[in-house]
Amino acid sequence: MCGIVGLVSFTDDLSRRPDLSQAMHGALALRGPDEVSEWSSPRALFVPRRLAVVDLEGGHQPAIATDAEGRETVVLSYTGEVFNFTELREELSRRGHRFRDRSDTEVVLRAYQEWGPACAERLRGMFAFAVWDVEQEELVLVRDRFGIYPLFYAETPEGFAFGSEPKALFTTGLIGPVVDRAGLLEALSFTPTPGRSVFKHTREVIPGEVVRYSRDGVRRSRYWTFTARPHTDDLATTERTVREILEDIIRRQVTADVPISSMLSGGLDSSAICALVNRSLGGGERLRTFSMEFAYHLDNFRPDEVHDSPDAPYVAKMAAHLGSDHRELLIDRHHLADVEGQAAVVRAMDRPAAGLDMYVSLYRLSQEVRRFSTVTLTGDGSDELFGGYMWFHDPFYVKSRTFPWLGASHQMEFLSGLLDRGLYADLDFPGYVRERYEEAIAEVPLTGEESAHERRMREITYLNMTRYLRVILDRKDRLGMAASVEGRVPFCDHELVEYVYNVPWEMKVADGREKSLLRAAVRDLLPQSVLERKKSPYPTVQDPAYRTGLRAQLKTITEDSGARVNGLLDTDRVKSVLTDATFGLRAGVTRMSIEAAVQMHHWFESGVTVEL
C-alpha cells in the first residue's frame, strides 16, 4: 500500500517548483510511512510515498524505464498489489525485459512498456497508478476493477493534478476543498456515484477505467465492466469452482515480506477467509486474527432487525478452531465520543460517513492491528457478491424501486435529517436519488434470458457491487491507511466476481438462506455454529449513553456562534434532538443524521468550505 500525488502542467516548469514538491510531501504520510521520494521534469511532478510490503529493499518509487541511450522514457508512480506478478514477470522476461528487483512495481512498469495502457487488462489485484510517458508527454491513470484503491484527479487551465485522496490534490494549489450543491447532495444522499467526488472540480477515476491527459485534454475509457453471460455449470460444479477460485486467490494474497493477519468477526465471510489463510500458511506460521466488540454488548446486547447475535461468542469459537493468535479490541462509549478520534475519521475519509460509531471503531481496530501487522485480509465484498444483506431477501426491499439500502431505511433520511428543510427541498434530495437510481439501473448488463425475478436479483447485485461496495471499500482503505495498514479483499478478485456474478440466483440461495453458495463451498472449514450463523452486519453500538453523548456534542456545536455547520442545520429539528425523549426520531431524525451533523462540523473545522 502506498500513496501517490502528482501534477502535470503545460504552462509551468515543474522542475523549478521545489515549493510544490515540498507541499506535496506530507499530504499522504500515513499511506506511505516508509519512504517518500519525488521525480520532476518541466512538464510533470510525481511525489510517491511507500508502505513497503513486497521486496522491502527494492521496489523504490517512482519506477523509471530508460532507452538504450539511458534517456528516461516511462515513469511510474504506483500503489497496490498485483497478485499475478510472478507469472507476468516470467512472460515479460521471455519477451526480453530485464528486471532490477523482485517487486510487483517493476512488473507493472515493464508491463506498461510492453502493452501500454492495455496492460491493465492483464493485472489481477488491487491497484491505482499513474504513468508519465516522456516521449508522448501524456499522463495515464489506471484504477483496479472495483476501486479497492482510490484515485482522484482535477483538471484546471493551469494543469492536471492527481492523487490517492482529495486532500493530496489540494496541496498542488490547483484547487481547494470546496463543496458545492452537487457535492453536498453526493455527500449526504448515500447514493455513491462512480466518478463523482464531493469536492468541486474533482473527479474520481471510475473502477476499471483509464484516464489519459495530454495537450489535447482528457480522454477516458473502460478496460473492464460487468458482463452478463449464461452459466452452464450445475450446482455441485459451481460450489467446487467457487472453492477452487478462493483457494487460488488466498494462495496469491498471502504473499508479503511483512507480517500478515486477518480480520475475524465470527461471520461466514471473515471466518472463511481466516480458515483459507490458515490452510495456506500450512502450519509454518501461526495466523494472527483481530476482532472488535463494543464493551456494552458483552452483557447488554439486544437482537434487532439486522443484528441477530453479538460477534464475540462466534469469534471465540472460530479463533479456538483455528488456533490463531487472536486479539479482541473492546470499544466503549469513551472511544466513540473522543472528539480527536472523530475528527481523525473525517480527515481520513475526506467527508462525512454513514455510521460514525462504525468508522471510529474500525479506525481504533486498525490502529491495534498496526501494532502487530502491516497487512490484513478481510471478508469485504462477499455480501454484495453472494447476496448476504437482508435487502436481497425481504420482498419489501426487493420491490422497492430505489437503492435497496435506502428502502431498508423505511423512508427515513440516513444523513440529511438535520439539514435545513428549505435547503433540503431546494436541493431536491429525492429527485437526486431517483436520478442516480435510474442511471444505475440503465447500466445493468443482462443476457435477455432472465425471468423477472432473476432480472431483479441481478439488478440488486449490480447496485451493490457498483455502488454500495464503494462505501465498504472506501471505509476499509481510508481507515486502514489512517493507521498505515494495507487491507486485502479476496472476495473482490475479478476472476471470482466474473464467475459468481453470473451464477443464477436460485443457486446462490440453494438451501433457502443467504449466501448458501459460499456456505456450501467452505462447509468443511468452519465449526457448525459459525457455518450456520445468520448474517450479522458490522456492529453498531447499542449503548444509550452514546446517543446521549451525541446530543451533548450537538448542543455544544449549535451553541457555538462560530460553528459554520449551523448555517446548514434546521433549527426546529435540532431542538427536537436536544429536547425530545426520542432524540428527534419523532421529527424524522435518525442517529446517523445526528452523527452526520457532528461530522460536518469536524469537516468544516478542517478547512472545507461550502458554496451554495
410-424 confidence digits (pLDDT tens): 668 999 999 999 999
Q: What pLDDT does residue 262 have?
A: 98
Distance CA 33, CA 25 (A): 11
Residues 6+ apart with CB under 8 A from 75: 39, 44, 46, 62, 63, 64, 65, 131, 132, 134
Q: What pLDDT does residue 282 have?
A: 79
Catalytic residue among 2, 119, 274, 492: 2
Q: What pLDDT does residue 219 have?
A: 98
Give every residue of the chain whose pLDDT is below 50, as ranges.
Answer: none
Is the CB of residue 177 less than 8 Å from the CB of residue 199?
A: yes
Assign 77 to helix, strand or coil: strand
Residue 43 phi, psi (nearest 5): -100, -20
Residues 6+ apart with CB under 8 A from 208: 143, 144, 145, 146, 222, 223, 224, 225
Please choose, from the candidates 282, 259, 499, the residue with its C-alpha nearest in 3D space to the C-alpha of residue 377: 259
2 is catalytic: yes
Q: What pLDDT does residue 37 have?
A: 94
Residues 6+ apart with CB under 8 A from 94: none
Q: What pLDDT does residue 285 have?
A: 82
| Single-letter residue type at 84 | N
Distance CA 584, CA 3 (A): 41
Distance CA 49, CA 27 (A): 9
Report the Cα 461 to chain-centroid distance in Å. Answer: 17
Secondary element (H or E) of residue 476: helix 469-481
In the chain, count H helices and then E strands: 26, 22
Is the CB of residue 584 less than 8 Å from the CB of residue 596?
A: no
pTM of the predicted model as reported, rounded to 2 decimal places? 0.97
Report the Cα 565 to chain-centroid distance in Å. Answer: 27
Q: Domains plus CATH for the chain? A: 2-222 (3.60.20.10), 235-285+313-325+345-351+363-410+425-531 (3.40.50.620)
Is the CB of residue 59 less than 8 Å from the CB of residue 85?
A: no
